[in-house]
Amino acid sequence: MNIERKFPCVRDMQKAARTNIPKFSYEYLSGGIGRNQSVKNNRKALDNIIITPQYLVDNADDPDCRCELLGQKFDRPFGVAPIGLSGLIWPGGSQALAHAARNNNIPFCLSGFATVSMEEIAAIAGEHAWYQHYMCSDDEINKRFFKRALDCGYQNLIITIDIPTATRRDHDIRNGLSVPPRFNFRTAYQILQRPRWALETLTTGIPRFENFIDLLPDKPSSQKTGFYLQELIEGHVNLDRLKMVRDHWPHNLIIKGILSEQDAQKCVEIGVEAIVVSNHGGRQLDAADSAIHRISQIRQVTGNNLTIIADGGVLTGLDIIRYMTCGADFVLAGRAFMYGVAAMGQRGAEHVMKVLFEEFECTMAQIGCNNIRGLSAFRADNKTLCQPAH
Ligand SMILES: Cc1cc2nc3c(=O)[nH]c(=O)nc-3n(C[C@H](O)[C@H](O)[C@H](O)COP(=O)(O)O)c2cc1C
């Protein structure tokens, strides 16, 4: 199969993912919350960013797309966002993306709720692996996680703050989504229709929350696992709790799920290194504004003291450039990478990165920008932006 011709863009991989994985997995991955308004708005907000190219320029034929972020050098200013329940989407999906991220010199963020351990991912991706954590209400447990991450050599800890309460997604409730998967007539039927996924799952093993295994009772049912985890995870994370993290995490601390200037200001106060401006891919609040609309105002508050990473809706290299013209220092993508893996496994992980790399570079050359630091000058609406920190 010539994957270049079959999958020239992420949308083609998304179509293949849909026919390759069970319906409950696909809806978990692609869906948002409520009426999917926030997912649609993320797309619309990106499409509305217009860029004015410049053609009479020197030195833009071979743009420099590399970047430096939080003390590390990367080949492109984007990385893989944390995705929970990854093994349910594609068995070994996180491992495939971690390998590809290291090969392509971009970061891979491991969700604490992925179905692979932080130790395994550190062994695969080394310094390209970042660890994302949801705060537990018991600090002894949080500290155990931080120590594990430090022992594995993680340099970047992401604390996600935008899930203050149990999330209700209609499609997941309808599908009875759980880990390990709950087998009923409906899920069994969906699995039988996807024999490749079923076979891979049998080979790889039934997905489990590997990072939490030692905290769960022996052989818990899927219902019990959900209950224990819900009990374990904290609701709203306040400033004192983040100060505690700051005191116990000596390396880069990144707070994910910021949309308001107020929250950004608090992050500045406790001295975090970076924030991720994000509406969690439109999965938490159907009325949430898109990250790309918020970056400029947030930058007014943070100035250049904080690195701003942003995400939501990215499907192309152009989308990443759109974020950067709006002032982001770095961009994450979640679904785009998972679509590649769900379409083709490990080959898909490599291929989706190749596509985004090439699209990014072509777009840089097309608009006449020879360096990512210059991108904020290309926004067509002429809104004044604070200069991003580099
Ligand atoms: C299936 C799925 C699972 C996710 N799980 C997590 C998670 O465990 N932790 C987290 O911080 N964000 C999680 N996110 C949010 C992503 O990290 C990221 O913010 C979002 O996917 C960006 O939007 P995009 O998918 O449109 O690129 C998840 C997103 C999806 C689609």
- Per residue in 291-306, pLDDT tens? 999 999 999 999 988 9
Q: What is the mean pLDDT of the chain?
A: 93
Residue 94 half-sphere exposure toward CB, CA atoms < 13 A: 33
Is the CB of residue 162 below 6 angstroms from any atom belonging to ligand 1? Answer: no
**Directed axis angle between helix 291-302 and helix 317-325, to 10°?**
30
pLDDT on residue 382: 52
Assigned token pair, 160 = 């996600």
Assigned token pair, 327 = 């002032």
pLDDT on residue 386: 44
Q: How far is Cα 370 from Cα 367, in angstroms, rounded to an integer?
A: 9
Q: How far is the CA of 370 from the centre of ligand 1 (A)?
A: 31
pLDDT on residue 62: 93
- Nearest-CA residue for ligand 1 atom 1 is 29
Cis peptide preceding 217, ω within 30 of 0 = no
Three-state DSSP at 326 gives coil
For residue 332, list its beta bridge partners.
79, 311
In the chain, the domains with their CATH numbers are 3-378 (3.20.20.70)
Q: Among 27, 80, 83, 229, which residue has the most ligand 1 atoms within 8 Å of its CB, making it the best to mutate?
A: 83
Assigned token pair, 306 = 């904080």
Nearest-atom index, ligand 1, CA of 42:
26
pTM of the model: 0.96
Is the CB of residue 79 below 6 angstroms from any atom belonging to ligand 1? Answer: no
Look at residue 178 and tell me whether its pLDDT is greater than 60: yes
Residue 332 half-sphere exposure toward CB, CA atoms < 13 A: 29
Look at residue 376 and tell me whether its pLDDT is greater than 50: yes
CB atoms under 10 Å from CB of 54, counted, come to 11
- Nearest-CA residue for ligand 1 atom 12 is 82
Lowest mean per-residue pLDDT among 45-59, 74-88, 154-168, 220-234: 220-234
pLDDT on residue 65: 97
pLDDT band for position 176 (cuts 50, 70, 90): confident
Handedness of CA 359, 365, 368, 369 (dihedral sign): positive
Percent of the chain with pLDDT over 90: 83
Higher pLDDT, 81 or 205: 81
Is residue 331 a contact partner of residue 307, using CB atoms and an 8 Å limit? no
Is the CB of residue 113 below 6 angstroms from any atom belonging to ligand 1? Answer: yes
Alpha-carbon Rg for the chain, nearest whole angstrom, is 20
Lowest mean per-residue pLDDT among 90-104, 140-154, 165-179, 272-286: 165-179
Q: How far is the CA of 58 from the centre of ligand 1 (A)?
A: 39
Longest dimension (CA), the chain: 67
Nearest-atom index, ligand 1, CA of 336:
27
The tokens 């994910």 sit on which residue?
Answer: 256
Q: Where are the alpha helices (DSSP H) in the chain?
A: 3-6, 10-20, 23-30, 37-47, 86-89, 93-104, 118-125, 139-152, 170-175, 185-192, 195-204, 222-232, 239-248, 261-270, 291-302, 317-325, 335-344, 346-367
- Nearest-CA residue for ligand 1 atom 28 is 83
Three-state DSSP at 373 gives helix
Is the CB of residue 256 below 6 angstroms from any atom belonging to ligand 1? Answer: yes
Angle at 48 between CA 311 and CA 109, to 5 degrees: 10
Look at residue 257 and tell me whether its pLDDT is greater than 70: yes
